[in-house]
Structure 1
Amino acid sequence: MRLSRPILGSLSAILILLAIFTFNVQASGIDMRYLLAETPFSIFLPMVRSGASSSPPPPSPSPTSPVPTVTILPPGGGMIINHNSIGLYDRIPSSYLRAAEAIKFTFMDRSVGANIDEGIGCLAAVSWEASNSACRRGYVDASLTNWVTYPNGNLPIPTVITFPGGNNRSNIHFVYHEGTWEEDLSYFIQSYPNYANQDIFSYQHNYLHVAAGSTIDDVYFDPNYRGTNIYDLEALEDRYPNKTFVYWTASLARTIGSADAQSFNDQMRSWAAQNGKILIDIAAIESHAPNGTACRNSQGYEIICKDYTTEANGGHLGSVSGGKIRIAKAIWVTLAQIAGWQP
């Protein structure tokens, strides 16, 4: 067996000490045999393992990774929200719904916008049962003739007016304004600095702006037009590059449906798609029944479905609740996707 150098050195030192001790004892006349027999002692040798190395202490467990937070950012590309998007509302994850609720969103319109704002208020109720009666009105059958406030006896509640409730709408606001389409558009652009504290300030044209004979579809997308049009909105975007801009198609009525309405809305859809814009296609939502059936007049133009209005000629969403609730759901789907949700 080979001893390592540290052990040999230790043994040498011990032997030298023993020799000195023995010499001193003998010089004192003490019998070493007696001393060793009566005095117990121990010798401690260091234990050294060849090739052994000290191991570092085990690493401390890393802390649990924090839950990612949702950052509100404009989407990188375009987004079209239409009648096919309504079903996404029930699929919004709670984290993205909370993020959507944090977005400061203000939109401008006239009476139909007020109806939509009421629909947003409906979804903010604690529950469907606790919501305002204006949120629970619907037709009694497929004839779309008579309507009642639900619940009502044994009548089945129409799915189109149901919702879970609980959406916090404290950051969503509505601005009422009425004028010609160009007056409204100019007012919106001039007012924008007053709403620069909002994440989104948006504007929707109403069905009166696209009635038969309107010039809106002729000049709105014309780069040579000297009045206010889409190019002024693009210039506004350039002045506020950190803001998110949301565009809308125009709302519809039972008799509007017109060539001008169809042309304007189709141009807005094409422009938004080609330029990567966010578009709430309210015309598509209003012109499709809850089952997906398209509603058009005898000329083939989109009109608001009877499912959403009780008016013979107009397009208000007040008497029955389905239309304003569907559009309110579309707005939440829009905000959730702006907040980063990818359905």
Structure 2
Amino acid sequence: MRYLNISCLIALVFLLSSCSKEDGPGIVSGDGFIIDHSCTKLAAIPSEWIEEAKSNLHIAYGHTSHGSQLTEGMSGLVSFKGPTFSWNNGGTGGSLDLHDYAMSGDLGNPDRTSWAERTRTYLAANPDVNVIIWSWCGQVSDATESNINTYLSLMEGLENDYPGVAFVYMTGHLDGSGLNGNLHIRNEQIRSFCRRNGKILYDFADIESYNPDGVWFGDRNADDGCNYDTDGNGTLDGNWAVEWQNAHTRGVDWYDCTAAHTQPLNANQKAYAAWWLWARIAGWDGN
């Protein structure tokens, strides 16, 4: 009986340690995934993982105008699909707990480092928060390799100091400079780092490079407004979002919503991808 009690005690200690917050909400240390255009099918997210996210995640989001596309899209989604996708600061009424504009500025405003210290200050005052996400607002376009290395290093520093928090990396929005532009090169730097090191990446640029049918506009100098070059003459004379919206039914295939710098469909896609992100962080394997 003594040996049985010792065995039970060991099993209990192991169970408690495996449920520790040290690895973050549903994330095993070292795990990572990329949220991109392939993660925009809302119906593919199991309802139980939507509920798991609403039950367990406490999210703080720092951004300025471009980053608002996620939350503007998420707000419109509630009207489009119902209270299953509701969110607010505090998570009241069974909603997702998401503190929008939790920290002032963005990843490049007022400079390229203040966001990290603001994150530390915020987490000290809000120890229940277990997800941190920041967005860019144009600053990847003129970033140097060193600038991006600074961003990546600061993110890793936060991850090391707050192992119970999931930190979400992000690419910069499209700017019309195409595959040979600095933006694409710097975004690839971020993507490569995240793949190699098992990080969580919300690929903002990739999401707005595709329409809902999976047609790619990344090689047509697409920009953040969904404008693109239809014939290779250097003029952005098409708009993939407007074209898709006009060919489909509003309120059925897509929904109207506020969308800073862009079209509603782009914010729709960003919202769908955001819910994939929350579900994955909560523990869903994406299948």
TM-score normalized by the length of structure 2: 0.68
Query: Does 1:166 find its partner at 2:88?
Result: no
Aligned 1:177-216 pairs, distance under 5 A: 177-178=104-105, 181=108, 183-196=110-123, 197=126, 198-206=129-137, 208-211=138-141, 214=142, 216=143
Task: Evaluate the alpha carbon distance shift between residue 237 and residue 91 of structure 1 in structure 2; reply closer, same or farther with a 3 A threshold.
Answer: same
User: C-alpha distance in 2, partners of 1:104/1:117?
Assistant: 15
Say if 2:62 and 2:106, in contact at 8 Å, map to a contact too. Answer: no
User: C-alpha distance in 2, partners of 1:173/1:229?
Assistant: 22
User: C-alpha distance in 1, partners of 2:219/2:280?
Assistant: 33
Task: Evaluate the alpha carbon distance shift between residue 235 and residue 96 of structure 1 in structure 2; reply closer, same or farther with a 3 A threshold.
Answer: same
Task: Evaluate the alpha carbon distance shift between residue 180 and residue 250 of structure 1 in structure 2; reply closer, same or farther with a 3 A threshold.
Answer: closer
Unmatched 5+ stretches in structure 2: 1-18, 89-96, 227-238, 244-258
Q: Could you tell me how far 1:78 is from its partner in structure 2?
A: 1.3
Aligned 1:234-253 pairs, distance under 5 A: 234-253=156-175
Q: Could you tell me how far 1:261 is from its partner in structure 2?
A: 0.6
Greater alpha carbon shift after TM alignment, 318-327 vs 242-251:
318-327
The aligned counterpart of 1:337 is: 280
User: C-alpha distance in 2, partners of 1:291/1:232?
Assistant: 36
1:133-170 per-position Cα deviation (integer Å, ceiling 9, x unaligned): xxxxxxxxxxxxxxxxxxxxxxxxxxxxxx45531212
User: C-alpha distance in 2, partners of 1:257/1:165?
Assistant: 39
Task: Evaluate the alpha carbon distance shift between residue 308 and residue 113 of structure 1 in structure 2; reply closer, same or farther with a 3 A threshold.
Answer: farther
The one-letter code sitting in structure 1 at the alignment partner of 2:84 is G
1:144-201 per-position Cα deviation (integer Å, ceiling 9, x unaligned): xxxxxxxxxxxxxxxxxxx455312121122274478274442211111333231112
Say if 1:177 and 1:184, in contact at 8 Å, map to a contact too. Answer: no
Q: Could you tell me how far 1:79 is from its partner in structure 2?
A: 0.4
Which of these two proteins has the greater Rg computed from alpha carbons? 1
Say if 1:75 and 1:338, in contact at 8 Å, map to a contact too. Answer: no
1:209-257 per-position Cα deviation (integer Å, ceiling 9, x unaligned): 133xx1x2421354xxxxx432122112111111111111111244677
2:190 to 268, 272, 291: 268
Aligned 1:54-203 pairs, distance under 5 A: 72-76=25-29, 77-87=31-41, 89-102=42-55, 103-125=57-79, 128=80, 163=81, 166-170=84-88, 171-175=97-101, 177-178=104-105, 181=108, 183-196=110-123, 197=126, 198-203=129-134
User: C-alpha distance in 1, partners of 2:261/2:109?
Assistant: 26
Tell me the matched-pair count. 221
Say if 2:172 and 2:183, in contact at 8 Å, map to a contact too. Answer: yes
The one-letter code sitting in structure 1 at the alignment partner of 2:139 is H
User: C-alpha distance in 2, partners of 1:279/1:319?
Assistant: 22
Aligned 1:262-341 pairs, distance under 5 A: 262-296=184-218, 303-304=223-224, 305=226, 306-308=239-241, 317=260, 320-341=263-284
Task: Evaluate the alpha carbon distance shift between residue 95 and residue 203 of structure 1 in structure 2; reply closer, same or farther with a 3 A threshold.
Answer: same
Aligned 1:3-22 pairs, distance under 5 A: none
SS at match of 2:67: helix
SS at match of 2:40: helix
The one-letter code sitting in structure 1 at the alignment partner of 2:136 is H
1:248-305 per-position Cα deviation (integer Å, ceiling 9, x unaligned): 111124467771110111111110000000101111100111111111355xx55343
User: C-alpha distance in 2, partners of 1:104/1:86?
Assistant: 22
User: C-alpha distance in 2, partners of 1:86/1:172?
Assistant: 20
User: C-alpha distance in 2, partners of 1:124/1:83?
Assistant: 21
Task: Evaluate the alpha carbon distance shift between residue 184 and residue 335 of structure 1 in structure 2; reply closer, same or farther with a 3 A threshold.
Answer: farther
The aligned counterpart of 1:8 is: none
1:30-88 per-position Cα deviation (integer Å, ceiling 9, x unaligned): xxxxxxxxxxxxxxxxxxxxxxxxxxxxxxxxxxxxxxx9x93224511011001112x
Cα RMSD for the two superposed structures: 2.8
Q: Could you tell me how far 1:331 is from its partner in structure 2?
A: 1.0
TM-score normalized by the length of structure 1: 0.57
User: C-alpha distance in 2, partners of 1:320/1:93?
Assistant: 28
Unmatched 5+ stretches in structure 1: 1-68, 129-162, 223-227, 311-315
Q: Percent identity?
A: 24
User: C-alpha distance in 1, partners of 2:210/2:204?
Assistant: 10
Task: Evaluate the alpha carbon distance shift between residue 292 and residue 244 of structure 1 in structure 2; reply closer, same or farther with a 3 A threshold.
Answer: same
Task: Evaluate the alpha carbon distance shift between residue 187 and residue 96 of structure 1 in structure 2; reply closer, same or farther with a 3 A threshold.
Answer: same
